[in-house]
Structure 1
């Protein structure tokens, strides 16, 4: 039996033998025993997901050419050029499908799930997913827990640790605003203060280390330091291993905000020497929004508690049990992290992915800067590039106006001010090509013609 399916048709595929699927992708023949997933999606997305699954299966046998040919594997609108993965990432349809499968199991019989089947099934599945992610970051799974995001992990650490009165928390001026806000909140609740260390970008490794060393020498009250592994804006890679070392020499604990690191650079969390490490999965790993990890050194785990205390978590360590169940909510994003890792393997593995995106960031950043008449910052091997705008962009205006103008071109990048100069941060992903950066250049020229430049944006 041959059947043609268009987007919008109901998905009753299991009864047929062979299908011809027609959507916005090339015509393919489906084998339902291995490719019937319409039940897990709204039908328009479900039909597309079937095509995606076949493409995914072919990747397992022979990884595809990276670039625009991979766009059908993602849920992005066909006319949208996504160059802001650093903020919100992009989750492959195959991973969204894995997430949806868990959601369907939960929603089919909520009482059966939450009261009987769910706890044991959830813990077992979470153990497997945590083991996969822990292996990916070269950590022991006993030291890793899932959290809803880097923000949740940072809050769990900063709000759990009871520092001595009149102690200080050190951070750099490049710290993400959420980290600064949480430190400010904690200090306001307790008799603590902040020590901000200002660095220039770009700076050499020795200059950064010297600035932090001087701050530690001048502020013996520092008990805890927080550093980004990769800063948000400007996007740079910090020498976290050396920063941890000089802090530990002073008896200072270290929290690393690795929100941008997981999936963008090779990551060995224990090797950093940090006491605490948080990392998002949605930005660069391809996992769903709401998936992140918190790693805590074994000798510090008794200090850390989740922001919500709910379950006893039988069979787990005290550290893990507190984070295993934090109330009635959707845990599917955590469980789908395994599918994200499988997707990376299907693309050819991390070496292939990271080489492509880091090379594209250099090439695309150079083309964008040339079009704007500026010079990009060195990328340092990252998949993000900081490109300065022309001097005309020094004219400040309403942020929302600039965003709207750029979004009319069906693309987006964060704008930011740094040391008196206006920049954009552009992210490269496996489905991007240099032509996307060229397209962005034209869109930015239109923004500049509107005299629009935002002073801040969600990054």
Structure 2
């Protein structure tokens, strides 16, 4: 399917005048009713139900957006709440920041803590997962010269950079491991078991729950346990998994973790948080010797300066939407959408799906590679072809040891037809790229 420039412009014009969902109705009334007795797995394929959910997202009709891993589109109730909070901040200015905001932010912190299964004393709000990750890595104070830190090729690039930074600042050695392809749960466990056993000097491990390159979900709990037995601390990067998968911090068994709220929770850009298990707080130093809060307060581990607080003020509405829809329903739908296209292209000659079908090892995000096409420019050519020829937006991802790939990320507003269109385009890809 090829779209003319006139059709694209017309689509963008339609978006500009699209009616917004009413902000005066409760979320329970805006969302379609879940049929009684229907499991999340059965609901996942109910296109009528999910069309009702999709109607609460304002997205461009000019292309099919399958690059939703960067950040999440806000549903209309959240977008409207965000606009109200932007106006409130602009109108009340520093009076808001010096008075009502502090109490509101603390209530939001308590709400986030309940959702993730922690206490508010273990949560500090940040401007996103990256800030949280950098603060935990830079603030970890148990490293000594000669120790080692470790991460995998699939871990987030900003986390890798921060771990590399420790080499010059703390005199530590940096160890990099490779997640095997094809990945299986046992293969991932074996890789970490072997790496930790062969590197007794490792003291800190960066571990992605659901990585942003291929979407592989790691067995975090088991890896945290094996690391703890060897005296290795783990910082879990749950920025992509929170809101995409259904879990709590107890399920991860993590002492340190980072989360994003503007990805799969659908909060505005600029919202996230870090988690430090209560008895481990002293092992992360206050950022830049911050004195805004006492050292015994986790909020001293974040200092963002004067920031746009409208995203934080909107987090409660995003959590309302998440809970009204149901985390288990979201997880089942996103996995269903992923399966919809993956199962239709596995038999394509040369098609390499980099995330396994093994239960618990994937969510919405999955990447593919065509055999022999491992270079950046070759995968950019694929994303360009999908966009220019089929109006399907995807993204090339690098950093995978075996070669670059193309990441596909559906969202709650994605339809089965969108994934069928992708599958049809991918089936012609080897021939189209000759």
User: If the TM-score is normalised by the length of the shorter chain, which range does it land in?
Assistant: 0.7 to 0.9
SS at match of 2:275: strand
TM-score (norm 2): 0.82
Given the two structures, how large is their TM-score scaled by the length of structure 1? 0.77
Against the structure 1 CA distance between its residues 323 and 124, is the aligned structure 2 distance closer, same or farther, given a 3 Å change threshold? farther
- Aligned-pair CA distance for 1:256: 0.3
Greater CA drift, 222-231 or 72-81? 72-81
Q: Does 1:424 align with 2:403?
A: no
Q: CA deviation at 1:305?
A: 4.8
2:393 maps to which residue?
412
1:49 to 20, 35, 45: 20
The answer (yes or no) to whether the contact 2:109–2:125 under 8 Å persists in 1 is yes
- Report the 3-state secondary structure (helix = DSSP H, G, I; strand = E; otherwise coil) of the residue aligned with 1:88: coil
Give the equivalent residue in structure 2 for 1:76. 59
In structure 1, what is the Cα distance between the partners aligned to 2:403 and 2:238? 26
Q: Structure 1 residues 415-424 or 155-164, which shifts more?
A: 415-424
How far, CA to CA, are the matches of 1:447 and 1:98 in structure 2?
A: 42
Instruction: Report deviation, 1:259.
Output: 1.4
Residue 122 (structure 2) pairs with residue 143 (structure 1): yes
8 A contact 1:371–1:441 mirrored in 2? no
Deviation larger for 267-276 or 389-398: 389-398
Q: Residue deviations 1:377-403, cap 9 Å, x none?
A: 434343335353444745763766654
Residue 59 (structure 1) shift = 3.0
The correspondence for 2:330, drawn from 338, 353, 378, is 353
Residues 442, 136 of structure 1: alpha-carbon distance in 2 compared, 3 angstrom cutoff: same
Q: Is the 8 A contact 2:387 2:394 kept in 1?
A: no
Call closer, same or farther: CA 1:135–1:307 in 2, change over 3 Å: same
SS at match of 2:99: helix
Q: Which one of the candidate residues 169, 173, 177 is aligned to 2:153? A: 173
Name the residue aligned to 1:30.
none
Structure 2 CA distance for partners of 1:352 and 1:99, relative to 1, 3 Å: same
Task: Name the residue aligned to 2:3.
Answer: none
Q: CA 1:371–1:338 in 2, change beyond 3 Å: closer, same or farther?
A: farther
Distance 2:297 2:319 in 1: 25
Confirm or deny that 1:326 pairs with 2:304.
yes
Q: Deviations over 1:320-378 (max 9, x none)?
A: 4426763221122122221111112333x122222222122112321244577746443
Q: Work out the CA distance in 2 between the residues paired with 1:106 and 1:303.
A: 35
Q: How many residues align?
A: 404
Report the Cα offset of residue 319 of structure 1: 2.5
**Does the C-alpha gap of structure 1 residues 155 and 430 become closer, same or farther in structure 2, counting only changes over 3 Å?**
same
1:168 CA displacement: 0.7
Matched, 1:362 2:333: no
Flag the 1:173–1:91 CA change in 2: closer, same or farther, 3 A.
Answer: same
Counterpart of 2:8 in structure 1 is none
Q: In the alignment, what sits opposite 1:20?
A: none
**Whose Rg is larger?**
1
Does residue 229 in structure 1 map to residue 209 in structure 2? yes
Q: Distance in 2 between matches of 1:439 and 1:105?
A: 42
Verify: 1:243 aligned to 2:223, yes or no: yes
Structure 1 position 284, deviation (Å): 1.2
CA distance in 2, matches of 1:392, 1:216: 32
Structure 2 counterpart of 1:32: none
1:185 aligns with 2:165: yes
Residue of structure 2 in register with 1:153 after alignment: 132
Q: Distance in 2 between matches of 1:357 and 1:363?
A: 10
1:245-284 pair list within 5 angstroms: 245-284=225-264
> 1: CA distance between counterparts of 2:345 and 2:338?
10
CA contact (8 A) 1:66 1:430 kept: no
CA RMSD across the alignment:
3.2
